[in-house]
Structure formats: C-alpha cells, structure tokens
Amino acid sequence: MKALFWPVATHGCESWTLKKQEEIHIQAFENKRIRKILRIPWTMLTTTEQVYTMAGAESELLDHIKSRKLRYFGHVMRLPHDNIESSVMTGLIEGIRGRGRPRVCWSDNIVAWTGLSGVSLLHATRDRRRWSSALIYAANHRSATTAL
C-alpha cells in the first residue's frame, strides 16, 4: 500500500490546507484502499477497526501527510530571511482580505498541530532540537486525539 497508493495520494501534500472535510476524505481513501487490498466487499459489513486488525496495520496516511507538512514548514523557516516562501507562510504579503468568515489558511494547520504560535513557532523552527520536540508533541497529540 505504501509503495503503490501513498506516492500518488500524497503528491504535493506539503502545500495542502487541511480542513476537517479533507481529513475525513483522506481517512476514507485509506480505509477503502485497505479493504480493496484485502478484498473485503462492502456487503461483508465489517468495521474499520476489524479491517485494520485483519490487515495488521494502523491508520497512518493522515499522520504521514501532517508530518510532511510540518517538516516542510521547518525547512522553509530555516532558510535565509529574504526568501519568498517564508514571507508567504508568515503572512507578510500585502493585500486585503474579503468580507465574510476568515478561511482556514495553511499556517492555521501548523499552529493547531504544534500548539505553538507566532514568535515562539518561528524560534522553534530555528532551533532544530526544539522543532523536533514540537514535532514529537504534535505526533503524540494527533494519536491521542484520533484514539478518542
């Protein structure tokens, strides 16, 4: 599964803005692929937990996408200050926002997953040890919330 489906499913995932609906779609994609590999028809009426137990696997695709996105953010923030990618990610681009509810932006995912925001997030990315501990925290926090 990791050799056949993941490269196609995660192509360019570092640039995605993950909303709750996209997370549900990614999880459904992984569930369908596991059922397809094991040849479990929908008429068999097995739960997702039973399917993963039969496969001897865990749900990993969404966590993999989130970790790639966090690693990419850390990489870009450690680049020199005059690059355009870090300017876009930190929101230093001029312009006005339209009316209505603010959309979920790319950096909102990073803030939600790491528990850091603003200047502390930028300082954490500059220090590799602190950033790796923030990634470990985010991975543990994700697995704890998915278990609920």
Amino acid at 104: V
The per-residue pLDDT of the chain, averaged, comes to 84
pLDDT at residue 5 greater than cutoff 80: yes
pLDDT at residue 133 greater than cutoff 90: no
Residue 133, CB half-sphere, CA atoms under 13 Å: how many?
8
pLDDT at residue 109 greater than cutoff 80: yes
Instruction: Give the whole-number percent of the chain exceeding pLDDT 70.
Output: 92
Q: Is the pTM of this model over 0.85?
A: no
Reported as type and span, the H/E element at residue 95 is none
| Per-residue pLDDT tens over the stretch 31-59 | 999 999 999 988 888 999 999 999 998 98
CA 62, 65, 67: angle at the middle one, nearest 5?
110
Which segment, 17-21, 79-83, 85-89, 90-94, is predicted with the most confidence on average?
Answer: 17-21
Closest CA to 16 of 83, 87, 66: 66
DSSP 8-state symbol, 111: H
pLDDT at residue 134 greater than cutoff 70: yes
| Per-residue pLDDT tens over the stretch 63-78 | 999 999 999 988 888 8
For the chain, report the end-to-end CA distance as a whole number of angstroms.
26
Put residue 58 in one of left, alpha, beta given phi > 0 → left and psi -120 to 50 → alpha.
beta
Report the pLDDT value the prediction gives residue 51, as an integer from 0 to 100: 92
pLDDT at residue 148 greater than cutoff 50: no
Report the pLDDT value the prediction gives residue 113, as an integer from 0 to 100: 87
Closest CA to 5 of 30, 35, 27, 41: 30
Those residues whose C-beta lies under 8 Å from the C-beta of residue 34, and which sit 6 or more positions away, are 1, 51, 52, 55, 57
Residues 16-36, mean pLDDT to the nearest whole number? 92
Residues 98-125, mean pLDDT to the nearest whole number? 83
